[in-house]
Amino acid sequence: MKTIKGPGVFLAQFAGDSAPFNTLAGMAGWAAEKGFKGVEIPSWDTRLIDLRKAAESQTYADEVLGVLSEHDLTLTDLASHLQGQLVALHPAFDLPADSFAPAEVRSHPEARQAWATEQLYLAAKASRRLGLTKHVTFSGTLLWPYLYPYPQWPEGLIEEGFDELARRWTPILNAFDEQGIDLCYEIHPTEDLHDGLTFERFLEKSGNHARCNMMYDPSHLVLQGIDYLTYIDHYHERIKAFHVKDAEFRPDGKTGAYGGYQPWTRRAGRFRSPGDGQTDFGAIFSKLTGYGFDGWAVLEWECCFKNAEDGAREGAQFIDEHIIRVTGKSFDDFCKSYADRSLNKKILGI
């Protein structure tokens, strides 16, 4: 067994245009003050990192790490959720997701996809220069508008969708493999990889690619009614990253999983600060520890009620209290009988 690292924090939800949230140095000081030991940097946020420079310049990559080390922080990984979304975007989302890309490629789907793909290539190179072993992203969304099979799916639609998803991502997976980096898809509603079965389907289409892995976030499983503990039993070999985000699902006589187009505060399923929802994190940390997961436990803070500053401070403490420092010996070693084959035979009567 190994001890999970942490607490870490995903900076995306906290970054902003005012100090200290508009620079990496400012956010590093803030994170350290809150009690975090690692940070996950959103690679799309140019206030925090220049992805191209990190991919092309070891000097710059070392400077990024230096900023963090001044506050005794580790870089857990880079994330490319927004770029990954644009690698495979259904036309229904052209306008809502257009702002994820720079102005020069907006309203030009092919150019936007090419930009997003290049961003993933840069992320692979930057991750290596930064001494990382994994990267977190989204799969994109070609099939999500057809989640519910009515009107009835045309024959072959789902198969073609996953074929296309694999066509777009396999070269990217190969690029990450060249750099020695695991690509971890966040299993997330609105993404084509939104549960275990969709991940398995994509994995098969990608030739069971060794770099095709997942980021485990139980909140997205809670809101789908998935057994998030047994999920770890199924996929622990592919779980290479871990977001600590809580959720609650309280359906009633008027609404359930689809939410009735309500705002977050009135949805049956909603995200909460760690410890305020229904997720059994004690069991999760035990499962992951038992399977030897030694990656980072990273807070992704999204709560429709709590103040962000309180959520960050409490989240760091919550993670720290749930990390299991693994033992180097068995609790009952004091009465251990050491190897003695003749004794064993006597005990068995043979």
pLDDT in tens, 288-305: 999 999 999 999 999 999
Instruction: Tell me the C-alpha distance between 179 and 127, whole Å.
Output: 8
What count of Cα atoms within 13 Å lies in the side-chain half-sphere of residue 163?
Answer: 5
What pLDDT score does 316 carry? 98
State pLDDT tens for residues 140-172: 999 999 999 999 999 999 999 999 999 999 999
**DSSP code, position 327:** -
Question: In sequence order, what are the residues at sequence separation of 6 or more whose Cβ sits closer than 8 angstroms to the Cβ of residue 55?
Answer: 121, 122, 123, 124, 125, 126, 129
What is the value of pTM for the model shown? 0.94
Q: Are strands 269-272 and 246-249 parallel, antiparallel or unpaired?
A: antiparallel
121: its two tokens: 């290539």
8 A C-beta contact, residue 288 and residue 242: yes
Q: Are 113 and 62 in contact (CB under 8 A)?
A: no
Query: What is the mean pLDDT for each group of 10 consecutive residues in the chain (350 residues)?
Result: 96 97 98 98 98 98 98 98 98 96 97 98 98 98 96 97 98 98 97 98 98 98 98 98 98 96 96 98 98 97 96 98 87 65 86
Burial group, residue 10, by CB count within 10 angstroms (0-12, 13-18, 19+):
buried
Amino acid at 230: T
What domains appear along the chain, each with residue ranges and CATH number? 5-348 (3.20.20.150)
Q: How many H helices and E strands in the chain? A: 12, 10
pLDDT at residue 332, as a whole number: 59
Question: In one letter, which amino acid is 134?
Answer: K
Rounded (to 5) percent helix, strand, coil in the chain: 45, 15, 40
CA distance 244 to 237: 19
Q: Which of 213, 212, 270, 214 is nearest to 246 (CA)?
A: 270
